[in-house]
Structure 1
């Protein structure tokens, strides 16, 4: 399968790239810099801006699946611009399947409230989490022609061990943490065996 990964040089994007190659897929690793992905020499690097509709359209036409692993700025960048760029990407991919890395903040607690709205949610991550939650709303508002899936991590995602074992849930928190390696496993399992088309789900160790 031909897979293009946008944001391939980030922590999550790199693990997804490595996992896709491990499974024998042909991978284009797209990022702003166009740099090679550490630990993934077989991936083809490509410089790409998320809002470049023409480049995204070409990428979608030459791949079976797009995986978007970008996030809003943590250093004061315009989150509205990031959301607008995502919309441009959704418009550009046509009928090519797109899987999107979401955020844990939009996941639901047992009382039905969102994790990001909890009083003890860290203030340092609240703005980022709210924008990621808005991205889910953007996806849910797309016309039915868009073949999308969003995979949200657990509240804590850090580099760790690839166990290949995880549990999933639809909208509620599935567990407290997941390794970035097992998050990538869950993403590629969804690529190869679609079970959440036009839906959001989450994974936890």
Structure 2
């Protein structure tokens, strides 16, 4: 499988690069830093590219089987999550390939007895003003994707604490925030990478979002 990863040097993107190469796939890694790209694997199956994701063309995307959007940005530019999703969808309207995979936030998940959005809990953090735009815009990104019915997309949300770390056994769900038996709600970048590669190799979701947490 030929997989393009946008944001390939970030916490999630770099783990997806490693997992995809480990499974024998061909990977094209996109990022804005040549220095960071140089730190990725030296595998002959890896091609790196210093490129702005907004400069990608339909031809670029159609040269691969999958495009993974692991894009991250500063809170004051959080609207770019929505803009990039719209750009990728625009390039692929009416096509079934490549498949688009979006890493979404936990804020769009539901939780509590009243089934409220978790982003409402995040907003209560005393320091929320400095970062709340990111989960808010990832919620907007999901709302946009939910109206897209002529592109082959899937979204994946982590649990409340998305953190660096190796893959561990996982719990999968749909739209509700997940907790393990110790009532912890976390997802390691390694677990996210394994979950995404499992979904790519054995598709179970289409035009839908699901969620994963560390068991």
- Distance in 2 (CA, whole Å) between partners of 1:72 and 1:138 is 19
TM-score, reference length from structure 2: 0.86
User: How big is the alpha-carbon RMSD for the aligned residues of Structure 1 and Structure 2?
Assistant: 1.7
State the Cα deviation string for residues 55-104 of structure 1 (Å, max 9, x = none): 33122211011111013423x33x33442232111111352210000001
1:130 aligns with 2:136: yes
1:190 Cα deviation (Å)? 0.7
1:160 Cα deviation (Å)? 1.8
- Distance in 2 (CA, whole Å) between partners of 1:13 and 1:56 is 20
State the Cα deviation string for residues 129-179 of structure 1 (Å, max 9, x = none): 10111000111122x22110000111111112223x101110001220011
1:174 aligns with 2:172: no
* Corresponding pairs, count: 199
- Distance in 2 (CA, whole Å) between partners of 1:203 and 1:7 is 20
Residue of 207, 210, 213 corresponding to 1:204 = 213
Instruction: Report SS of the residue matched to 2:8.
Output: coil
1:125 Cα deviation (Å)? 2.9
State the Cα deviation string for residues 25-72 of structure 1 (Å, max 9, x = none): 0000011235525342222101222222xx331222110111110134
TM-score, reference length from structure 1: 0.90
Q: Map residues 44-59 of structure 1 onto 2, 5 A cutoff.
A: 44-52=47-55, 55-59=56-60
- Distance in 2 (CA, whole Å) between partners of 1:67 and 1:185 is 13
- Distance in 2 (CA, whole Å) between partners of 1:101 and 1:146 is 16
Instruction: Report SS of the residue matched to 2:53.
Output: coil
Residue of 197, 202, 206 corresponding to 1:188 = 197
Change (3 A) 1:82 1:201: closer
Instruction: Report SS of the residue matched to 1:106.
Output: coil
Q: Is the 8 A contact 1:13 1:69 kept in 2?
A: yes
